[in-house]
Amino acid sequence: MAEQAELTRPDTCKSIQTINPATGQPGRSYEEHSIGQAHTVAAAAQAAFRQWRRTGFTERTAIFHKAAEILRGRQDEFARLMTEEMGKTLDDGRAEVEKCAFHCDWFADHAAGYLRDEPADIGGGEAFVTFNPIGVVLAVMPWNFPFWQVFRAAAPALMAGNGMLLKHASNVPGCALAIEEVLHEAGVPKDLFRTLLLPSSDVEALIKDDNVAAVTLTGSVPAGRSVATAAGSVLKKCVLELGGADAYIVLEDADVPAAAQLAAKARMVNGGQSCIAGKRFIVVGPILERFEQALVEAMRGYEMGDPTKEGTKLGPMQSVKARDQIHKQVEQSVTLGARLLLGGEVPERPGAWYPATVLGDVRRGQPAHDEEVFGPVAAIIAAEDEADAIRIANDSEFGLGSGVLTSDLDRGRRIAARELEAGMSFVNENVRSDPRTPFGGVKHSGYGRECGAFGIREFVNIKTVHVKALEHVSGTQIE
């Protein structure tokens, strides 16, 4: 494999300063790369890809099993790093690292099967479909699951024979470099996967680099539009996983206490900072008041606490700016008629803290109904009946995840499978990603899929091959 491209940082490079969200105190600082350095890295990645694509699944499998082993061995270290950079609780950080390890193991064991040649019958000779890697994929990743989002994209892409460049969120540079270290230690060629500490303003130029074949983004709707526009201008494939305002329909036959507990769990994933966290709870009339009371009690259990302590259920938000945006959405919703049932006040303490919050009487026109609230705020919306609940759930620009809470499994199955406009619909469970099933959304939640067979095939050339013996063709030869 090619030697790692050596980069000399120009004197004009800016510094990235991390901030501990729990305390507001500065952490480590890192030097940004320049766009010139990024182009150098992209060229080296393309050279490494040309060799990597010739490796077999046996070699790649061993590398990703090794990556899983390294992740598990350094689980506490990486969990602490996430806590320091973006405020994730230590317990959640450990769980995230284990999920990354499982993901690496899964694609190590199943990539070859997902990409096995598929025979086809086209009426003569031999025909089959084969799956070839397409090149270097640029991954533009967010801060909220700083390890999982990257490994979710990297494991299938590299197992398929591609290369990858990582442009991570600017507040988690330590996580970005740690991921690079894990993969290199596991045996991924140095230039095949590289972390680039770049500002968002340089992403377009990197997408248009001839050495970049495709781009995958997890981020906001505006970021998705920007990446899609840049990729489209040079006819490059992109996969977009964008925002979500996941709706959970709570039907009148649901067990109210159990439904409220599950709703709180769904809302409070990662402190509410998750695209697939439950955000809108649409409750059919007869149980509305009981559900409101039960959800308030369930959400009370998520007390703010030191994210480095075992058992803490709610740490800080990722930044004061993000916290202030959440609070603004809550205040505007209340001004427009929502009822504040729990929380909703900024605590007087340093850091990016916000309490578990519940809003009732949420309606169209309020931010809690129309927008993605990326924090620990649950919105309760009243519905007249099942049909009205489905209408409200689908009345959103987003379509990532969705849920149905009911005691009638056939009813829940029907609504989830046929009625809800979302990439994922879970019955009596909170929505989550899993390497074994496709993950992604519709509408403004993006397009394309990650995970499973559908995910690994996003960044391959799906090629038809037809093989037939050459037959003599009779006829008059024209000189």
> Which residue in 32, 85, 180, 241 is the catalytic one?
241
The residues pairing with 133 across neighbouring beta strands, listed in sequence order, are 460
> Which residue in 100, 104, 175, 275 is the catalytic one?
275
The C-alpha atoms of residue 432 and residue 269 are separated, in whole angstroms, by: 9
3-class DSSP string for the chain: CCCCCCCCCCCCCCEEEEECCCCCCEEEEEECCCHHHHHHHHHHHHHHHHHHCCCCHHHHHHHHHHHHHHHHHCHHHHHHHHHHHHCCCHHHHHHHHHHHHHHHHHHHHHHHHHCCCEEECCCCCEEEEEEEECCEEEEECCCCCCCHHHHHHHHHHHHCCCEEEEECCCCCHHHHHHHHHHHHHHCCCCCCEEECCCCHHHHHHHHCCCCCCEEEEECCHHHHHHHHHHHHHCCCEEEEECCCCEEEEECCCCCHHHHHHHHHHHHCHHHHCCCCCEEEEEEEHHHHHHHHHHHHHHHHCCCECCCCCCCCCECCCCCHHHHHHHHHHHHHHHHCCCEEEECCCCCCCCCCCCCCEEEECCCCCCHHHHCCCCCCEEEEEEECCHHHHHHHHHCCCEECEEEEECCCHHHHHHHHHHHCCCCEEEECCCCCCCCCCCECCEECCEECCECHHHHHCCCEEEEEEEECCCCCCCCCCCC
Q: Are strands 163-167 and 193-195 parallel, antiparallel or unpaired?
A: parallel
The C-alpha atoms of residue 279 and residue 446 are separated, in whole angstroms, by: 18
Give the HSE-up count for residue 167: Cα atoms under 13 Å, Cβ half-sphere.
29
Closest CA to 141 of 91, 94, 100: 100
Q: Is 275 known to be catalytic?
A: yes
Q: Is 238 known to be catalytic?
A: no
Give the HSE-up count for residue 351: Cα atoms under 13 Å, Cβ half-sphere.
22
Nearest-10 crossing angle of helices 75-86, 57-73: 70
The residues pairing with 359 across neighbouring beta strands, listed in sequence order, are 340, 379
Q: Are strands 398-399 and 442-443 parallel, antiparallel or unpaired?
A: antiparallel
| Phi, psi of 415, deg, nearest 5 | -65, -45
The set of catalytic residues is 241, 275
